[in-house]
Chains A and B, each alone.
Chain A
Amino acid sequence: MGTLSQFVRRAARPLCLLVLLAVLGAAGPATATDTGDLLGLSLEALMQVEVVSASATARPLDDTAAAVYVLTADDIRRSGARDLPELLRQVPGLQVARINDHTWAVSARGFNGPFANLLLVLVDGRPVYDPLYGGVYWDAQNVPLWNVERVEVVRGPGGTLWGANAVNGVINVITRDAASTRGSYVAGGAGRDERAYAAAREGVSLGERGDLTLYAQGFDRNVRDWNESRGGFRWDRRLGAARLSVNGEVYDGGAERQSYFASLSPPELALNEDSERFDGAHLAATLRRGDEHDGWWFQAYAARDGRKDDLRRSHSRTEAVEMRRARRLGRHGLTVGAGLREVEDTYDGSFTVSFDPRHERVYWYHALLQDDIALTDDLRLSLGTKLEHTPYTGWEYQPSAQALWRMTPRHAAWVAASRAVRVPTRAFSDATIVQDVLPGSPPTVVRVVGDPDAETTGVRAFEAGYRGRPVDVLSLDLAAFYNRYDHVNTLENGTPFPETDPAAHTVVPLVLDTQARATAVGAEAVVAWQAARRLRLTVTYAWLRLRARPDAGSDDLSNVRVNDGSNPQQQAGLLVRADPAPGVELDGALRAVDGLPALGVPGYVDLTARVAWEPVPGLTVSLTGEHLAQTHHREFAVVGPTDVVGEDVPRTVFARVTWAP
């Protein structure tokens, strides 16, 4: 590639954003949004303030019979995180490990890995997992965090409401309502691992026709050249008593990477420098009336995502419609719902990795029913099930029973029993991935092959928890669980067979199967203490013990062990949030994470610190240091040749300037 084109490539993004910034800089004033500003208003003016709820789908979390953790817009800003998975490190009970600059392994309650697929990630109710393998490409689904209202994380099964893949948890990212983002926002920055960063947002009122917000974000990192640009809009308006919300986004990015390249001639298995590009877009519309107890909700969306590198080129397209209706009938709160999703994908692979068939179009449809019963004023029971028809395994049911007892307004306890499933994905049934090539005549190719008859991985989960606020300055959140998994992934030895394409060789197949069981026991605790008016401390702790064992008849040797030992047994965190002087914010996060014995990754201590200063209202300058404890450390290792290669996580420091007049 030429030096000039390289320069143009790097300059184009910041340039476009600069134009945007210039345009926005000329735009008008913003509007008050927090209590501090509102206190200055007269009663009459207060009565003219339009209110927006954080989200119409948000439940009062104190009343949820599940292990829930919420990151507010304030938490997100003060975390200093640039990327969604980095932010998720703050959530107790999640396992977040950075594999390399733009790849993360994220899971809840175990089974972590580069292709972790037991955690469901939703952005405004829209699932963002890749249909081919069922996990999330975090570099592609990198929601601009300054545009997020809140992130709700449910640990434990969420299959009844959210469906397949919500086996061990659900992450719901809720972006900001257009009406709450009127005015301008611009941000810029750079850092030790970042050549340039720019972001902008402009929100305008369209009067009777609601509110429209446009936003864009771009960055160029210098570790592995990860770069990305992203832009989108959101339009919110009232339609009679209902609210309509339409949003869309386009993204485009790329990164240098290493990948294993297999061939029949020497070198049989080579680690090649490669570069990866990814792009995509989505358009979603939501219409809702009332709330989650009494009202209805309708959503339609279309999304497409693509990725390509030297080994493959893949594309997927999803279109879906979904609706829910909630009604209160005496002591019962009934919710019914239904949905249909069409997923189409194409995968053009290589000798190293390929899919057969290369193209597929499938349909998913579901119905759900839930009854929220107020047994007494303080005791609530929730019963429900989802019935989902999957293209690979037919009908799946995911029932749950949850009870919440509000002992006093300050103390609540809950128990839950549920079943959730992870349905085999295309990667599981149709993929072939070369693991090794042994020279010889003919050469031998060790290859992982999918099993079209793979079974659904299911979990039966039993959970209990307590949430309380014994005194005003102290809040507690405790959860414990016992999970039994059946049909857990294994690799079985297949019968060798000859193949002639592209040249004669013998294939030793390793068949992806589900001949193992696992049990997981764990507990998570969060203690938040408002030590002084300007000092808040949060201590988190999570303990997990996962044991997998192959069924009789399975000859899996490695995969089961990896499942066992690829999750830290203990994780502890301390979050400090201080406001030492007016306009100055000081934040720190200290985490200690156990090692991953099966992957040979030692435990580590990680420190993140952020200092922010607001010299004039609206202008904020901040400096964030990430991974400060060591110059670099390893968080994950990928065993065997796959298309992901693990690297050390380096120490970094970056600066941000934001202007929201």
Chain B
Amino acid sequence: MKRGNPTRMLRRRSWMLALAAAVLMLASGPARGQGVVATEYAVKAAFLYHFAKFIEWPESVGGPSPAVVTLCVVGVDPFGDALDELTARGVEGLADGTRVEVRHVSDLAPREGCHIAFISNSERSRLARHLAQAVTGHVVTVSELSGFAEAGGVIQFVLEDGKVRFWINRGAAEREGVRLSSRLLALARIVGDSEMPER
């Protein structure tokens, strides 16, 4: 075989050298990105955790800061493993003592004991029913369904320019009897009811 030939070998390795050179140039260049990048649902899971910290619930559901915040996922769970991390940390106790428990539910009946409910995209047709149930159970509803906040949901996730933002319907929060911290309100875009869901 002809494999001992050094010229051939050099040719084969040349792309490796080129690559190394390219890396060298890049690594020594001035602008190195420091921005944080993560998958969409990992970010949204982290937001849900923060919501738990910045919301006060009425006494009837363990408020203002329940010892354990029950986070319910209604419908098809889009989070993959992202919420497991929340639970794992939550049970051991996070730095500031907020504990989060994740449950998968099919409705928001008071017996489920949800504090925050993430309403999945699979629930569009059942949205009105979920929102009605949320009011009686003091559940903070969160969703990424378009038009969610205007339809009476409390917090709606939106993607703007590749970043996660959230909109808050203050009227909906008041109906549900929960208090959102001013810090949360300051970062959100405030929207109002445009059309009330059928009750």
| B50: chain A residues within 8 A (beta carbon) | 43, 46
- Is A36 a contact partner of B89 (Cβ separation < 8 A)? yes
In the complex formed, the residue of B with least CB distance to A229 is B16
B3 to chain A, nearest CB (A): 6
Within 8 A of B (CB), among A405-429: 406, 408-410
A378 to B106, CA, bound (A): 14
B184:A206 contact, CB within 8 angstroms: no
> Are A39 and B94 neighbours in the complex by a CB distance under 8 Å?
yes
Q: Is the CB of A2 within 8 A of B4?
A: yes
* Contact mask for chain A residues 58-87; partner B; CB cutoff 8 A; 1 contact, 0 none: 001011000000001010000000000000
Known: A12-B9, A16-B16, A46-B164. 16 other contacts (CB 8 A): A2-B4, A20-B19, A23-B27, A31-B34, A32-B38, A35-B46, A35-B83, A41-B36, A45-B36, A47-B187, A49-B38, A49-B164, A52-B38, A60-B78, A205-B35, A410-B104
How far is B29's CA from A322's CA once the two chains are assembled, in angstroms?
A: 36
Complex formed: what's the CA distance from A49 to B162 in Å? 8
A28 at the interface (CB under 8 A from B): yes
Bound-state Cα–Cα, A579 to B50, Å: 26
- Within 8 Å of chain B (Cβ to Cβ): is A265? no
A38 within 8 A of B: yes
Q: Report chain B residues within 8 Å CB of A44.
A: 187
CB distance from A319 to the nearest CB of B (A): 21
Partner of A28, one of B32, B46, B88: B32
| Contact-residue size bin, chain B (C-beta under 8 Å from the other chain) | 35 or more
Contact of A52 among B40, B83, B125 (CB under 8 A): B40
Contact, CB under 8 Å: A50 / B162? yes
Known contacts A46-B46, A49-B43, A52-B40; is A23 also within 8 Å of B3 by CB? no
CB distance from A312 to the nearest CB of B (A): 14
Residues of A178-227 at the interface with B, using a CB-CB cut-off of 8 Å, are 179-180, 182, 202, 204-207, 211-212, 214, 216, 218
B31 and A8: CB pair below 8 A?
no
Indicate whether A469 reaches chain B with its CB closer than 8 angstroms. Answer: yes
Which B residues are CB-close (under 8 A) to A214?
19, 22-23, 26
A97 and B156 alpha carbons, distance in the complex (Å) = 49
A503 at the interface (CB under 8 A from B): no
Cβ 8 A contact of B159, one of A51, A205, A211: A51
Q: Which of A281-313 contact B (CB under 8 A)?
A: none
Q: Which of A1, A41, A250, A410 contacts B15 (CB 8 A)?
A: A250
CA distance A52 to B89 in the complex (A): 24
What B residues does A31 contact at CB under 8 A? 33-37
Digit string of B43-54 for contact with A (CB within 8 Å is 1, else 0)?
101110110001
- In contact, B20 and A20 (Cβ under 8 angstroms): yes
B43 engages A51 (CB within 8 Å): yes
Please name all residues of chain B whose beta carbon is closer than 8 Å to the beta carbon of A36 when the two chains form the complex.
85, 89
Q: Which residues of B contact A74 (CB under 8 A)?
A: 81
Check B39–A54 contact: CB distance below 8 A: yes
Q: How far is the CB of B48 from chain A (nearest CB, A)?
A: 10
CA A521 – CA B74 in complex, angstroms? 37
Contacts A1-B1, A6-B4, A23-B23 given; indicate if A35 touches B74 (C-beta within 8 A): no
* Chain B residue with the shortest CB-CB distance to A20: B20
B16 in contact with A216 (CB, 8 Å): yes
A231 on the interface (CB 8 Å rule)?
yes
CB contact under 8 A between A41 and B37, given known A5-B4, A20-B23, A406-B122 = no
B80 A72 Cβ-Cβ under 8 A: yes
Interface 1/0 per residue, B1-21 and A, CB below 8 Å? 101111001001101110110
Give the chain A neighbours of B45 by CB distance below 8 A.
35, 38
- In the bound complex, do residue A5 and residue B162 qualify as a contact, i.e. CB atoms below 8 Å apart? no
Is the Cβ of A180 less than 8 Å from the Cβ of B12? no
Name the residue in B1, B22, B33 with the highest tally of chain A Cβ atoms < 10 Å from its Cβ. Answer: B33
B103 at interface by CB-CB < 8 Å: yes
Cβ of B123 < 8 Å from any Cβ of A? yes
Do A35 and B42 form a contact, CB below 8 Å, given A20-B19, A231-B19? yes
Give complex CA distance A38, B79 in Å. 14
Contact A43 B183 (CB under 8 A): yes
Q: Which of A39, A48, A52 contacts B49 (CB 8 A)?
A: A39
A211 proximity list for chain B (CB < 8 A): 33
Given that A39-B86, A51-B163, A207-B31 are contacting pairs, would A23 and B37 also be in contact in the complex, using a CB cutoff of 8 Å?
A: no
